[in-house]
Amino acid sequence: MDSASLTTGTANSNKSRIEILFLSHLKLMNLEIQDTLNAFARVTEKTACKTFPEFGKMDKKKADHIAVEEMRLELSKLPFQSRVIIGEGEKDDAPMLYEDEILGQPGIEIDIAVDPLECTTNFAKGLPNSLCVIAFTEKDGLHRVPGTYMEQWIASPQMKYPFEPKAGVEKNLERLALSLKKDVSDLIIVVQDRPRHKELIEKIRALKCGISLIDSGSLTCIMDICLEKGNYDALIGTYGAPEGLIGAVIAKATGSEFKGIIRPHEEKHREKWLSTGKSEEEVLDKNDLVTGEFYGFVATGISENSILRGIHKRKGKLAGETILISKEVKKIKKFEEE
């Protein structure tokens, strides 16, 4: 092939990519953010209602299976395509809602990160904070993360000075206190109660801060912080990377502070992370993980939490609350099963 042909071929290839992106943008323009939030809300609400009869019955595997089946069924009914970026695992390990599974009607393409039953153990024990969750962006708007851990630093939109995870706890909490116009000793920090956080907890307590030790339910805490409900000032520590990606969507939609570092617990996860073009120890901002411009988050409360009332019976029907979050919309809606 001569150089002229090669140049023409490259130009045509670039033109094709531009045309595809332009057409995708036109399709998204016809799909309003409120319509998308409402569509996914119907999915989470139906999934929550279908799963609720197993609440408190100590069979989390059965409950999770019901939630996954129902969410997959409802996603397949939507008038657009949803591609699973974060779901139940890789295709070989998960028969449903596996990575890259595509559900729904051909046309507009949306990428989703889902958790059909967040806080599965709490749900099985009849405890608070179980949710049904979907975060979304346009196609290729979510950076893939492996099924491992992520160090996370999250604070409200009032955080004026970005977290610097490698600068240490003391410096970062001083920045947070300055932003919030509080004394460091008045801060309340969410940390998961795990042995890996022993040193972190000691450092925070040495600063005389309050600590809310949670067993699970990090997404509820992230919502509380990003929506400035006033119960907590920040979330710090190492949590699940999939939840971290969903948390980044919440943070971006609310203009909140977010930093993360992938912490692989197995070599396969380290290799998978490096294959995405990122490096070890790289400090990630919310915009590194959520690159799209069309994005949002939907969660239906299954058991009660500080944001949402859980599923309950009203006039013989199951009812509940769903939160819708995007840069344009932040609201809680009530619903009843059909």
Q: Is-contact 109 141, C-beta < 8 A?
A: no
Say yes or no: 107 and 200 in one domain.
no
Number of domains in the chain: 3
Mean pLDDT of 167-185: 97
pLDDT attached to residue 187: 98
Over the chain, what is the mean pLDDT? Answer: 92
Whether the per-residue pLDDT at 22 is higher than 50: the answer is no
pTM score, two decimals? 0.90
Say yes or no: 158 and 283 in one domain.
yes
Q: Report d(CA 280, CA 165) in Å as an integer.
A: 14
Q: Report d(CA 265, CA 284) in Å as an integer.
A: 18
Say yes or no: 214 and 303 in one domain.
no
Q: Is-contact 260 176, C-beta < 8 A?
A: no
Mean pLDDT of 292-300: 97
Say yes or no: 187 and 123 in one domain.
no
Say yes or no: 231 and 315 in one domain.
no
Label residue 31 by pLDDT band (50, 70, 90): confident
Say yes or no: 283 and 307 in one domain.
no
Say yes or no: 40 and 137 in one domain.
yes
pLDDT attached to residue 6: 38
Which tokens belong to 298? 């939907």
| CB < 8 Å & 24+ apart, contacts of 208-212 | 208/184, 209/173, 209/184, 209/185, 210/186, 212/188
pLDDT digits (tens, 9 = 90+) for 70-120: 999 999 999 999 999 999 987 667 789 999 999 999 989 999 999 999 999
Which tokens belong to 278? 């990122």
pLDDT attached to residue 243: 97
Mean pLDDT of 175-180: 97
DSSP 191-248: EE--GGGHHHHHHHHHTT-EEEEESS-HHHHHHHHHTT-SS-SEEEEEEEHHHHHHHH
Say yes or no: 234 and 269 in one domain.
yes
Give the range of the structural domain holding residue 23, as residue numbers without chain letter. 1-30
Q: Is-contact 286 251, C-beta < 8 A?
A: yes
Say yes or no: 196 and 263 in one domain.
yes
DSSP 245-311: HHHHHHHHHHT-EEEEEEE-SSHHHHHHHHTTT--TT--EEHHHHB--SSEEEEEEESS--SS----
Mean pLDDT of 302-312: 96
Whether the per-residue pLDDT at 315 is higher than 90: the answer is no
For the chain, the farthest-separated pair of C-alpha atoms sits apart, in whole angstroms, at: 76
Q: Is-contact 85 144, C-beta < 8 A?
A: yes
Say yes or no: 247 and 180 in one domain.
yes
pLDDT attached to residue 60: 95
Label residue 220 by pLDDT band (50, 70, 90): very high
pLDDT digits (tens, 9 = 90+) for 185-213: 999 999 999 999 999 999 999 999 999 99
Q: Report d(CA 195, CA 80) in Å as an integer.
A: 43
Whether the per-residue pLDDT at 28 is higher than 80: the answer is no
Say yes or no: 231 and 318 in one domain.
no
Say yes or no: 194 and 112 in one domain.
no
- Domain containing residue 104: CATH number: 3.30.540.10
Mean pLDDT of 131-136: 98
pLDDT attached to residue 17: 53
